[in-house]
Amino acid sequence: MSTPLVKQRFLTPIFSICLFISLTVSAAGLPPYVDGQPLPSLAPMLEHSMPAVVNISTSTNIQVNENPLMQDPYFRQFFKAPNQSRQQQKNSLGSGVIIDSSQGLVLTNNHVIDKADKIMVTLNDGRQLNAELIGTDPEADIAIIKVTAENLTQLPIADSSQLRVGDFVVAIGNPFGLGQTVTSGIVSALGRSGLGIEGYEDFIQTDASINPGNSGGALVNLRGELIGMNTAILAPTGGNVGIGFAIPSNMIMPIKDLLVKHGEVKRGLLGVTTQDLTPELVNAFNLDNKHGAAISRIESDSPAAKAGLEPGDIIVLANGRAVKSSQDIRNIVGLLQIGDNVNIEYFRGNEKKSVVATIAKKEQPQLAGEKLHRLLKGTVLSSTQKDQLEGVLIEKIQTTSYAWKMGLRPGDIIVSANRYRIVNLTELQKVIAPNNPLLINIQRGQEGFFVVLR
């Protein structure tokens, strides 16, 4: 049985993996000086860093039916029963980091504020502020929110590429809603990926205690500089076992710039599918090189195809960064924008070659919801991507629309309509009638529920 990786969510601590830290100074019985020298303390650094870490609380209104049978419009019509749905409020807790005091920008995890109707930020000095959502990147689990206030403290940003295993680190957050807490540890490992937590993974691993509520909190070095954002823990029993993961600052900052500028990250396409280079593949391809990502598929008419890459090529370097696994190439390409060039060095057999490919726009057909059904007005729909649950994705939705009032949110996936399983826009169009009531089954993260539009 595999050990679960826990991602911190507000209402379910076992499935929430927030990274936060509690500075526990057990100074009882210790003298302030030893041999005339003061004992080392993290307190001076924390006095400057802790005001930049905030508590985030959210509330989300969801539609709930008193009786599951009432979700079926045909059942209600037969028994002439009224709709007994009501609104229920879901509350969650997490952490955030002020990274720009002049603009009031706060960094946190996407899963901390995902689908929230209201976001409240509590500062270290006790002030409570309403926050505005600036942008989110669910695939990297990064979000930026904004508060309006004076005398904010921001954390300076460090270059996470300079980290070494064994460096001391401190985690700051709000575990279990207890209030600001600090814990310390070391960098246990770097470049952790393939954990299945996020779409893009390049985690810092630390043994600083991380617990539910720490998500979105700060991982800092001993100079009080932000080196990562606490995001997940390895939790066989749902609690901390000394294996926590943080998104490095060098991944956060380029995404933060895109979120502030565009509100989202529009990732481009290279057009390769890769797999890790195993000893078996090394032998099968008769390679001298034992590290890299093997290209298993090239999409037709893609940038990779136009650059001359072929299945069987082994990518070893991309934009000067070593590629040791398929996750490495995914991360590198995932941080590039449409139109950016990527310099790729690769082996074809034992001959080393290099090419330059230009990242292209992903072609994803979209459709305005009102073209399918009048009650879907204000939504933008698309078929889900190959790495998502099959269905129809609600990409955008106007907050003033009827669909929003009925509880639909961006990122929801429609998996059935009028009791028919659907996997794309074409199938959805076939099973609905523009003027009839619409019963849809929504998948939202790990939750599934029905919504009736009429």
- Looking at the domain assignment, is residue 7 inside a domain? yes
Give yes or no for residue 155 having a pLDDT over 80.
yes
DSSP string covering 131-171: -EEEEEETTTTEEEEE---SS---PPBP-GGG--TT-EEEE
- Asked which of 182-191, 225-234, 354-363 is least confident by mean pLDDT, the reply is 354-363
- Looking at the domain assignment, is residue 69 inside a domain? yes
Measured over all CA atoms, what is the biggest interatomic distance in the chain, rounded to whole angstroms? 87
pLDDT of res. 99: 95
| Amino acid of residue 96 | G
- Residues 81, 98 share a domain: yes
- Residues 219, 178 share a domain: yes
Placement of tokens 């509100």 in the chain: 263
Confidence of residue 12 (pLDDT cuts 50, 70, 90): very low
Give yes or no for residue 212 having a pLDDT over 80.
no
Structural contact between residues 97 and 155, judged by C-beta atoms closer than 8 angstroms: yes
pLDDT higher for 171 or 199? 171
- Residues 245, 105 share a domain: yes
The mean pLDDT value of the chain amounts to 82
Q: Which of 361, 394, 418 is the last residue of a domain?
A: 361
What's the whole-number mean pLDDT along residues 317-329? 86
Q: Which residues contact 217 (CB under 8 A, 6 or more apart)?
A: 18, 19, 20, 21, 53, 94, 95, 96, 97, 171, 172, 173, 174, 229, 230
- Asked which of 7-16, 161-170, 302-311, 394-403 is least confident by mean pLDDT, the reply is 7-16
Structural contact between residues 344 and 359, judged by C-beta atoms closer than 8 angstroms: no
State what percent of residues in the chain have pLDDT above 70: 82
- Looking at the domain assignment, is residue 282 inside a domain? yes
- Residues 444, 346 share a domain: no
- Looking at the domain assignment, is residue 238 inside a domain? yes
pLDDT higher for 126 or 77? 126
Confidence of residue 345 (pLDDT cuts 50, 70, 90): very high
Give yes or no for residue 31 having a pLDDT over 80.
no
Closest by alpha carbon to 57, among 140, 126, 113? 113
- Residues 248, 152 share a domain: yes
CA geometry: angle 281, 284, 286, nearest 5 deg: 105
pLDDT of res. 9: 38
| 213-227, 228-242, 262-276: range with highest mean pLDDT | 213-227
Q: Which two tokens stand for residue 357?
A: 């490919």
Rounded distance, CA 357 to CA 380, Å?
31
- Residues 91, 237 share a domain: yes
What's the whole-number mean pLDDT along residues 397-411? 88
> How many angstroms from the chain centroid is the CA of residue 158?
21
What's the whole-number mean pLDDT along residues 423-432? 86
Q: What residues are labeled active site? A: 111, 141, 215
Q: Which two tokens stand for residue 62?
A: 């969801």
- Looking at the domain assignment, is residue 11 inside a domain? yes
pTM score of the predicted model: 0.66
Confidence of residue 223 (pLDDT cuts 50, 70, 90): very high
Structural contact between residues 379 and 401, judged by C-beta atoms closer than 8 angstroms: yes
- Looking at the domain assignment, is residue 165 inside a domain? yes
Under DSSP, is residue 130 helix (H, G, I), strand (E, B) or coil? strand
Closest by alpha carbon to 200, among 101, 332, 312, 75? 332
CA geometry: angle 433, 385, 135, nearest 5 deg: 95
Give yes or no for residue 418 having a pLDDT over 60.
yes
Q: Which of 361, 396, 413 is the last residue of a domain?
A: 361
- Residues 416, 309 share a domain: no
Q: Which residues contact 341 (CB under 8 A, 6 or more apart)?
A: 356, 357, 358, 359
- Residues 254, 315 share a domain: no
pLDDT of res. 121: 93
pLDDT of res. 283: 83
- Residues 298, 341 share a domain: yes
pLDDT higher for 366 or 259? 259
Per-residue pLDDT tens for 36-73? Answer: 667 778 888 999 999 999 999 988 876 665 555 555 55
Give yes or no for residue 423 having a pLDDT over 90.
no
> How many angstroms from the chain centroid is the CA of residue 339?
24
Placement of tokens 């390769």 in the chain: 272
- Tell me which DSSP letter residue 8 carries: -
192 sits in the region (left: phi over 0; alpha: psi -120 to 50; else beta) called beta
Residue 391: which CATH number? 2.30.42.10
Bridge partners of 121, per DSSP, are: 56, 129
Closest by alpha carbon to 256, among 373, 81, 109? 109
CA geometry: angle 230, 236, 238, nearest 5 deg: 60
- Residues 211, 73 share a domain: yes
- Asked which of 87-96, 110-119, 203-212, 368-377 is least confident by mean pLDDT, the reply is 87-96
Closest by alpha carbon to 423, among 441, 396, 438? 441
| Amino acid of residue 131 | A
Give yes or no for residue 13 having a pLDDT over 50.
no
- Tell me which DSSP letter residue 13 carries: G
pLDDT of res. 168: 94
Give yes or no for residue 287 having a pLDDT over 80.
no
Q: Which of 346, 361, 376 is the last residue of a domain?
A: 361
Rounded distance, CA 101 to CA 149, Å?
9
- Residues 272, 396 share a domain: no
- Looking at the domain assignment, is residue 34 inside a domain? no
Confidence of residue 19 (pLDDT cuts 50, 70, 90): very low
| 113-117, 167-171, 337-341, 416-420: range with highest mean pLDDT | 167-171
- Residues 116, 232 share a domain: yes
Residue 96: which CATH number? 2.40.10.120
Closest by alpha carbon to 97, among 15, 162, 24, 156? 156
Structural contact between residues 415 and 428, judged by C-beta atoms closer than 8 angstroms: no
Closest by alpha carbon to 73, among 81, 43, 157, 169? 81
If one counts the domains in the chain, the total is 3
Q: Which domain holds residue 294?
A: 268-361
